[in-house]
Amino acid sequence: MAMESMLESASFHHIEIPCEDLALAERFYGEVFGAQVYMRRDEKRLPNVPAVGTIAEVEERGFRIDGTFLKIGEALRIGFLKRPCRHDRREIDHLAFAIDEDDLARLKQKFLERNIEIVLEAANHLQIRDPFGMVLELWPRFVLAGMGVL
């Protein structure tokens, strides 16, 4: 007997990850995955924190940024919070992305050009490491569908 879900219309909104260098997170995820900053948070929760310009430019205007929130595509949102990080599997083990089949080769080339560590290269997916040690898996949707998980 299947259990009825209490969250029938819920969807995943975002994940937050500890990060010691928010500007590096914005650059890495922006350059590699095309992420866009959609929100930043001031440590004193001041209103109207700019999401445009660099963190340094925003802080020159009197804000102290302790969180940045990025959007990749239309649905994926990742927040980075200014905190020490270990990524030793006590926090989050890894993030896995479902990507278009054609993107795998293009992304691999981008990783090689930028000297991004490729942790695992398999015939049907890649694993890389972000600048903070987090492992990112990249799976083509057709592979996930063939596994019955998409």
| CATH number for the domain that contains residue 143 | 3.10.180.10
pLDDT in tens, the chain (150 residues): 566 666 676 777 788 888 999 999 999 999 999 999 999 999 999 999 999 999 999 999 999 999 999 999 888 899 999 988 766 656 677 889 898 888 888 899 999 999 999 999 998 899 999 998 889 999 999 898 888 887
33, 50, 85 - which closes a domain? 85
**Boundaries of domain holding 35:** 12-85
| Count of positions (residues) in the chain | 150
At residue 68, φ and ψ (nearest 5 deg) are -130, 140
Name the pTM for this structure: 0.85
Rounded CA separation 57/33 (Å):
23
| CATH number for the domain that contains residue 28 | 3.30.720.120
The count of structural domains within the chain is 2
Instruction: List the Cα angle 42/49/27 in 5-degree steps.
Output: 85
Residue 4 included in any domain: no
Residue 1 included in any domain: no
Rounded CA separation 30/53 (Å):
13
